[in-house]
Amino acid sequence: MKYIIKKLLTLILTLFFISVLVFLIFQVIPGDPALSILGTEATDEQVEALREQLGLNDPMPKRYFNWLTGVLTGDLGKSYRYQESLNEQMAVSRLIAGKLPVTLTLAGLSLLLIIIFSIPIGILWGGTKSRALDGVLNVLSQFTMSVPSFFLGIIIIYVFGLIMRWFTPGGYVSYREDFWGYIRYMLFPAITVAVPKVAMTAKFLRNSIITQLKSDYVRTAYSKGARRFRVLFVHVLKNAMIPVVTFIGIIAAEIAAGSIVVEQVFGLPGIGRLLVSSISTRDYPVVQALMLYIVSAVVIVYFVVDILYRYIDPRVEEQ
Amino acid sequence: MVKILEVKNLNVYYKAKSKSIFARPERKQVLFDVSFDVNEGEIFGIVGESGCGKSTLSKTILGMNPLYDGSIVHNSVKPQMIFQDPYSSLNPAWTIGRILSEPLLLSGMKDKAEVKAAVYDMLGRVGLDESYYGRYPSQLSGGQRQRVSIATALIARPKLVIADEPLSALDVTIQAQIMELLMELKKDLGLTYIFISHDIDVVYQLCDRIMVMKDGRVVEIGETIELFENPENAYTRQLIDA
């Protein structure tokens, strides 16, 4: 419990520094938000009035504080570009809330696929004595790791979408309309994200198992009379999984941050695509909010991994 | 005298790494025509330089090395082994209680209360109290871990125990304690030890008979005192003088 509180305080402190950094970066970027909103034809008086209204003339600490209060209460400002109606800009929080479920579903499904496939493959790979199987898996993993995801996405669209007709390419269905249709469509981008990560994770687990199998406690287990199957599953697996949990954590953080390429290839309205379009249109409030989300997601996932770690590795306690 | 272990004309091989996956795996012989007997109740020492085949021999006696010919007959329960390095030979993810329970569970004991009672009894015999049951190896000192290793080896009540350099990873003061413990347990439980070491002084103090090995072959077998006073082989003499 003390450990969790300590980690939680570290997390909060980290998030605070991140917020300062994200805020400062967007102070330094040239360009006047008031001018961006009003356009080049606005008069100086109009710009000055809006600057006053937006609080841009306040001193920096006050502006940071106002911004942070906004973030914590869910007010991330208004998009420069997206409009709710003719004369009202869309709130960034609403904009992201519409896109985030797609990215999170993609991340969740991919992570599920990674765990379901990489762990059995890794165990089989690490536990096998067959050099032929080891060789086959080695070639297969090298291959899947090296195929770029946009290309894998195109292949999957071609094979499963155009030939097998298991889904309609580009025919994204919103989860509000048809939940199972949505999951069914999301499965294919999730496979695209998962395939190279499955290969990496399986290889990582395999190496971890092989290292563990060489250790002395395995020899002790054999001398007690344990057989290979028992040694692998009862003795080695838990020790071998410890570094793999961290590895999966890193992957989870990566995919929670959104897969820009895969969202683009499959035409998913997720935050990856929003990020690309916001950067190209200089929609800074959106970029700022997305940056805050991505960095926070990574930090929070690492926090969860740290907590999980403690439950599977008894040695963490005394360190 | 009753013989507890008889080894006759033992040849042991290892699978050598083949150069390509298509080549037939080659065998590399590591023990050559090893024969010896161990009498019940004695301490039988095996000495030799590292790499002479001592550890291979003990692994083969325990049935952990399938590639051999010749005969190994042990007239008792399955022999057990105490390993050299108490830091790495215990599973770091398991509690002491679980480590000690495993040999009993593998030997078919089902009743949980019975297993637990046996584990507590064994902990007491090696001088550790019941509070150690729930601890992890990383929370123990080297000497305490070696006590756990000894308890693990003895809990299934073997008659023959192979101790592979059980002292060499420990501090000198702890070495003496562990040695004393091993002697006490030998008396209490009626054990026979095969004591593997490269330390000629320890072997001289402990063992009734000694077998000297070199390059996978037996050089000389004899009573300790006789062997030390009157070594027949030049290599044995060299080892004693060193």
Domain match, A195 and A277 both: yes
CA distance B123 to chain A (A): 17
* Residue A172 belongs to some domain of the structure: no
Would you call B157 an interface residue with chain A, using a CB distance cutoff of 8 Å? Answer: no
Q: Which residues from A are below 8 Å from B102, CB to CB?
A: 221, 224, 226
Burial of A11-36, coded b for 16+ CB within 10 Å and e otherwise, reads: beebbeebbeebbeebeeeeeebbeb
Residue B3 has pLDDT above 80, yes or no: yes
Q: Are B206 and B191 in contact (CB under 8 A)?
A: no
Kindly report, residue by residue over A150-175, the tens digit of the pLDDT.
Answer: 999 999 999 999 998 888 888 888 88
CA torsion A241→A247→A248→A254, rounded to 10°? 180
Q: Out of B81, B102, B139, whose CB is closest to A318?
A: B139
How far is Cα A68 from Cα B34, in angstroms, rounded to an integer? 79
Q: What is the pLDDT of residue A319?
A: 42
Tokens representing residue A120 in the block: 């059995």
Cα–Cα distance for residue pair A129/A127, rounded to 1 Å:
7
CA angle B215, B218, B224 (to 5 degrees): 120
Tell me the per-residue pLDDT of B68-119, one tens digit each, with 9 for 90 and over.
888 888 887 788 999 888 778 899 989 999 999 999 998 888 899 999 999 9
The nearest alpha carbon in chain A to B152 belongs to A224
Helix, strand, or coil (residue B49): coil
Structural domain boundaries in chain B: 3-79+158-241
For the cut 70, the answer to whether the pLDDT of residue A69 exceeds it is yes
The CATH number given to whatever domain includes residue A133 is: 1.10.3720.10
For residues A73-100, give the mean pLDDT. 85
The answer to whether the CB atoms of B138 and A315 lie below 8 A apart is yes
CATH fold for domain B3-79+158-241: Rossmann fold (3.40.50)
Rounded Cα distance, A4 and A1, in Å = 5
B136: buried, middle or exposed (CB in 10 Å: 19+, 13-18, 0-12)?
buried
User: What's the CA gap between B95 and B103, in Å, rounded?
Assistant: 14
Give the 3-state DSSP-derived string for A157-207, with helices as H, strands as E and coil as C: HHHHHHHCCCCCCCCCCCCCCCHHHHHHHHHHHHHHHHHHHHHHHHHHHHH
Question: What's chain B's average pLDDT?
Answer: 88
Answer yes or no: is A153 within a domain: no
Q: Does residue A195 lie within any of the structural domains?
A: yes
Min CA distance, A318 vs chain B (Å)?
8
pLDDT digits (tens, 9 = 90+) for A187-237: 999 999 999 999 999 999 999 999 999 998 998 898 888 889 999 999 999
**Calpha distance B195→B185 (Å, rounded):** 14
Which of A128, A137, A217 is best to mutate for the B interface (most B CBs within 10 A)? A217
pLDDT of residue A27 exceeding 90, the answer is: no
Same domain, A234 and A280: yes
pLDDT value, residue A317: 55
Tokens of B220: 């000389």
From the list A215, A220, A226, the residue facing B106 with the nearest CB is A226
pLDDT digits (tens, 9 = 90+) for B125-178: 999 999 999 999 989 998 999 999 999 999 989 999 999 888 888 888 888 899
Residue B21 forms contact with A (CB below 8 Å)? yes
Residue A30 confidence (pLDDT): 77
The reply to whether A134 and A10 lie within a common domain is no
> Over pLDDT 70: what percentage of chain A?
98
Are the Cβ atoms of A224 and B152 closer than 8 angstroms?
A: yes
CB-based contact B89 A235, cutoff 8 Å: no
Task: Report which residue type is found at A224.
Answer: K
Dihedral (Cα; B54, B59, B61, B62), 10-degree rounding = 150
Residues of chain B contacting residue A211, judged by C-beta atoms under 8 Å apart? none
Q: What average pLDDT does chain A have?
A: 88
pLDDT at B227: 87
Q: What is the pLDDT of residues A105-134, one digit of tens each?
A: 999 999 999 999 999 999 999 999 888 999
Look at chain A and report how many structural domains it folds into: 2
Which chain A positions have a beta carbon within 8 Å of B93's beta carbon? 238-239, 312-314
Residue numbers of the domain that contains A295: 105-148+191-318
Distance from CA of A308 to the nearest CA of B (A): 15
> Is A236 within the bounds of a domain?
yes
- pLDDT of residue A44 exceeding 90: no
Inter-chain CB pairs, A–B, below 8 Å: 60
Tally DSSP H helices, then E strands, for chain B.
8, 9
Query: Could you tell me if residue A159 is inside a domain?
Result: no
State whether A232 and A109 are in the same domain: yes
The answer on A86 and A123 residing in a single domain is: no
Question: According to the model, what pLDDT value does residue A233 have?
Answer: 93
Looking at the structure, do residues A134 and A276 belong to the same domain, yes or no?
A: yes
> Which element (helix H / strand E) includes B6?
strand B3-16
Query: What is the phi/psi pair of residue A130, to 5°?
Result: -80, 120
Interface test with B, best of A219, A223, A242, A318 (most B CBs within 10 A): A223
Please name the residues in contact with A229: beta carbons below 8 A apart, sequence gap of 6 or more: none
- In terms of Cα–Cα distance, which of A240, A237, A253 is closest to A297? A253
Tokens read off for B167: 């002292």
Tell me: do A87 and A112 sit in the same domain.
no
What confidence category does residue B19 fall into, taking pLDDT thresholds of 50, 70 and 90?
A: low
Task: Find, among B163, B212, B156, the residue nearest to B36 by Cα.
Answer: B212
Residue of B96, B89, B231 whose CA lies nearest to B163: B89
Task: Calculate mean pLDDT across residues B10-23.
Answer: 75
A85 lies in the same domain as A215: no
**Same domain, yes or no, for A72 and A213?**
no
**A308 domain-assigned:** yes
From B62, B80, B138, residue closest to A318, measured CB to CB = B138
In this complex, the residue of A225, A235, A313 whose CB is nearest that of residue B91 is A235
Say if CB A112 and CB A106 are below 8 A apart. Answer: no
Report H helices in A29-158.
33-38, 44-54, 60-72, 92-127, 131-146, 149-156
Cβ partners under 8 Å of residue A300, min gap 6: A11
Say if residue A89 is in the same domain as residue A128.
Answer: no
Q: Among B82, B91, B94, B98, which would you mutate to test the A interface (most chain A Cβ atoms within 10 Å of its Cβ)?
A: B91
What pLDDT digit, counting tens, does each position of A230-286 carry? Answer: 999 999 998 999 899 989 999 998 888 878 889 989 989 999 889 988 888 878 889
Rounded to whole angstroms, how far apart are CA atoms B184 and B147?
A: 13
Interface test with A, best of B57, B89, B104 (most A CBs within 10 A): B89
Name the strand (E) or helix (H) holding A87: none
Q: Is the pLDDT of residue A40 over 60?
A: yes
Q: What is the amino acid identity at position B152?
A: T
How far apart, in Å, are the Cα atoms of A206 and each of A219, A243, B15? 19, 11, 22
Same domain, A138 and A30: no
| Angstroms from B106 CA to nearest CA on chain A | 7
